[in-house]
A and B are shown apart, each in its own frame.
Chain A
Amino acid sequence: MSSATATAPAVNAAATTRPRESRAALYASLGLLALLLVAWQILPTALAVPKYIIPTLSDCLVEFGRMWTSESLLANTASTALYTILGFAIGSALGAALGYLLGMSEFWEKVLSPYILALQIAPKVAFAPLFIMWFGYNAMPKLLVTVLIVFFPVLVNVLQAMRTVDRDLVNLARAYNLSRFQIFLKVEMPSTLPNLMAGLRIASTLAVIGVTVGELVGGNTGLGFLISYGGGQANAAMVFNAIILLTVIGFLLYSALVRAETRLLHYLPKAQF
């Protein structure tokens, strides 16, 4: 719930001119959370839903303590977080690099765009079993799935932005005798920054999916592994906890990006709403 309120206006949240209204929204949001937690605790028991279908809040908290001590929860969470960030960093760096390269060459963009489109449409998570066959049961498959899933939104956003850089700005730079590389560095790159950041934000939410699928399919570490392990034991509380922690990892990464974006794009006029 709280993530939903933070997504859309996140960039402009700092500019909200009516603090009273935003505070009211925050209280309402927290109130809703409290209500949900109470319902979660009371309803399953009241409706006689068994624990292995929907565990209550307290079941999950107890299970959390057990996982902490006997399932090395901290190490598994850290592992998932590490590969999320690593996959995100590598995938978005590659996506941005290729996006800028193709953005500078119309010819290669035309040559490669059908393949890029095909790969973009192909469900990247379906590659996971293949990567396991190729690389075995280690960290490589999940890292690759993550890189692959992160790669495309960044690539497509950067490419799109490179196509729509103001031609007059580029001409101005040319008239000032700036070299091709200077034009890229001083005009094209900053012009595409808003789109790059938007791509990174989308990519950050996908990165968690990539790692989770990799761990679900063939892992022995990480929260994805705990999900399949817990699922095998009909331990719904364990699955719930792992999902919540995955969400937290994704949310933290997303929030960090939104913060970076607000700082980097400070020069954009702020929408008043």
Chain B
Amino acid sequence: MALEFRGVTKQFTTNSGAVLTAIRDVTFKVNEGEFVSVVGPSGCGKSTLLSMTAGLYQPTTGEVLVSDQPVTGPNDHVGFMLQKDLLLPWRNIVKNIEFGLEARGAAPGPRRERAMAELKRCHLAGFENHYPYQLSGGMRQRAALARTLAIDPEIILLDEPFSALDAQTKLLLQDSFAATIAESGKTTLLITHDLSEAVLMSDRILVLSERPGTVLTEIKVELPHRAHPLKRRVMPEVGEYAGQIFRHLKLEEKAI
């Protein structure tokens, strides 16, 4: 399923009554099965894009479309994942993975089967009865991915899912996420501030400006091995791509 933003502007009213424009006139499309990253300076409204795709709130003007249908509220097509794993600490891992399935009235038997399958896919077999506090940060994020995949969404939204992890865990997890996502063939939107992460994992990168966020440019990553960031990592072109994004963000001018 494809995801499309058509001229989307989102304004918020702050507590002091001022109107704040988070993003302005954003238009882009993510094709079915494509992996697109959004990079931009902090506070450029990256997470606003995600919340609107998830249907948590509506654009002020413009439209968000999933498979050509406007998103009007939370829906089954979209699964999202944040920097925080958001696992429920009082549930063990398998019950956490089942969480998203519970609103759908699936019978407990098939629900458990589905959760166990995702648990295996995310390399967590044997940890189903552990509680979140007993797992490492990387394992918790894998559990969060398993929970996201369990509802079988058409589109996966990832909001900086690796940014709280240490450097090594991050690389391994990027690799394992990329493989899992490629295998499932899901359309994916990754929000990140890590430029090389965007290059390693995506088919295409959208560069957003400072607030109010608009799409500055779009970069197509023409490298093989999208499903294996670790293989891409050693390619010399990765640095060139990152440098290109770097220039678009005009980071050098800001480094005083």
Q: Which among B82, B90, B100, B151 has the greatest number of chain A C-beta atoms within 10 A?
A: B90
Given the interface contacts A175-B56, A182-B102, does A187 sit within 8 Å of B88 by beta carbon? yes
The CA of A171 and the CA of B133, in the complex, are separated in Å by 22
Verify A179–B103 contact, CB threshold 8 A. Answer: yes
Verify A175–B54 contact, CB threshold 8 A. Answer: yes
Verify A268–B86 contact, CB threshold 8 A. Answer: no
Verify A190–B88 contact, CB threshold 8 A. Answer: yes
Verify A174–B56 contact, CB threshold 8 A. Answer: yes
Residue of A nearest to B83 (CB): A168
Q: Which B residues lie within 8 Å of A187 (CB)?
A: 88
The CA of A270 and the CA of B54, in the complex, are separated in Å by 35
Given the interface contacts A175-B74, A178-B102, A269-B133, does A193 sit within 8 Å of B86 by beta carbon? no
Can you list, as one digit per residue, whether each of B46-60 has a CB less than 8 Å from chain A (1) or not (0)? 000001001110000
Verify A175–B89 contact, CB threshold 8 A. Answer: no
Verify B102–A186 contact, CB threshold 8 A. Answer: yes
Query: A176 in the interface, Cβ–Cβ < 8 Å?
Result: yes
Main secondary structure of the interface of B (DSSP, over half): loop
Q: Which A residues lie within 8 Å of B86 (CB)?
A: 166, 168-169, 172
Verify A177–B88 contact, CB threshold 8 A. Answer: no
Interface size class, chain A? 20 to 34
Q: Which of A168, A174, A268 is in CB contact (< 8 Å) with B74? A: A174
Query: A267 in the interface, Cβ–Cβ < 8 Å?
Result: yes
Residue of B nearest to A264 (CB): B90
Given the interface contacts A182-B103, A267-B133, A268-B89, does A177 sit within 8 Å of B74 by beta carbon? yes
Verify A186–B99 contact, CB threshold 8 A. Answer: yes
B 172-227 contacts with A by CB, 8 A: none
The CA of A182 and the CA of B74, in the complex, are separated in Å by 15
Residue of B nearest to A169 (CB): B86
Query: B84 in the interface, Cβ–Cβ < 8 Å?
Result: yes
A 147-190 contacts with B by CB, 8 A: 166, 168-169, 171-179, 182, 186-187, 190
Known: A171-B56, A179-B103, A187-B88. 4 other contacts (CB 8 A): A168-B84, A175-B54, A176-B102, A268-B89
22 contacts between A and B (CB under 8 A): A166-B86, A168-B82, A168-B84, A168-B86, A171-B54, A171-B56, A172-B80, A172-B86, A173-B99, A174-B56, A174-B74, A175-B56, A175-B74, A175-B79, A177-B103, A186-B88, A186-B102, A190-B90, A193-B90, A267-B91, A267-B133, A269-B133
